[in-house]
Amino acid sequence: MAWQEPKTDWVANPKSPMSEDFNRIESNIDFLKGDIETKKGAIVDALNTVGLASELTDTHATLASRITGANQGTKIITPGTTNQTIAKGFHSGSGYVKGDANLIAGNIKKGVSIFGVMGSVSTTVVGQQNSNYVRVSSDYQTVSSSVSLTTAGVVFGAACFTEQSGGTPRGCKLFINNVEVASGGDRWNPIVAGYRAASAGTSTAKAQHTSGGTGSLANLEVYVFGASV
């Protein structure tokens, strides 16, 4: 059944409607009904294709609400340790997955891949030195040790603790390159700190005994290490 050109000049050319006029009118009504249903079916099929369940018996208003309800707006995704579901529907086109300038091989451990970037950071120890125990006989006595770092971007760290032969174990303060980085520690709980060296050269750790009356016997140790990153 095809669309038939309607008569639109009834005022200029009036006549009593004939059977062919009624046939044409009813035929066009039937054509329009079929055309509407066909196009509605295409909309229903499209909605079902994108996962928005719809039926041909749904009203046009219902179909419209499913379309507008699928608007997800602007989605911004921050990568994490697990997959994140992308909701069904359409988006504004302004969304994005966040990037990070730190996602480079030089910030990732060698052999580890993060979002397709293979790390190049080596964890090979490049130097270490352990100081001797020192007998402390006065408050605030210090002991220091150093390590030679062959390249920049090296992790340098140190640990210290004190041990006293009698009474309460004493604590210590830990300095790296003359900057205090931690305090506390005792015989059983050493304090540890570290940082990334900005350049090659010798870095020094210093431990300072924080208390212990004159004549007390205590040992103070500082240990330093360097590892390439």
Report pLDDT digits (tens) over 16-66: 999 999 999 999 999 999 999 999 999 999 999 888 899 999 999 999 998
Pick the CATH number of 125-228 from 1.20.120.420, 3.40.1440.10, 3.40.50.150, 2.60.120.380: 2.60.120.380
Rounded to two decimals, the pTM is 0.40
DSSP type of residue 62: H
Among residues 52, 100, 58, the alpha carbon closest in space to that of 72 is found at 52
Q: Break the chain down into helix, strand, coil percent, rounded to 5.
A: 20, 35, 45
180-227 pLDDT tens trace: 877 776 666 677 777 666 677 777 777 776 655 433 445 555 555 555
Domain definitions of the chain by residue range:
1-99, 125-228
Is 149:197 a contact under the CB 8 Å cutoff? Answer: yes
Report whether 136 contacts 220 (CB < 8 A).
yes
Q: Are strands 201-209 and 125-130 parallel, antiparallel or unpaired?
A: unpaired
Cβ-based burial of 129 (10 A; exposed 0-12, middle 13-18, buried ≥19): middle
- pLDDT for the residue 176: 75
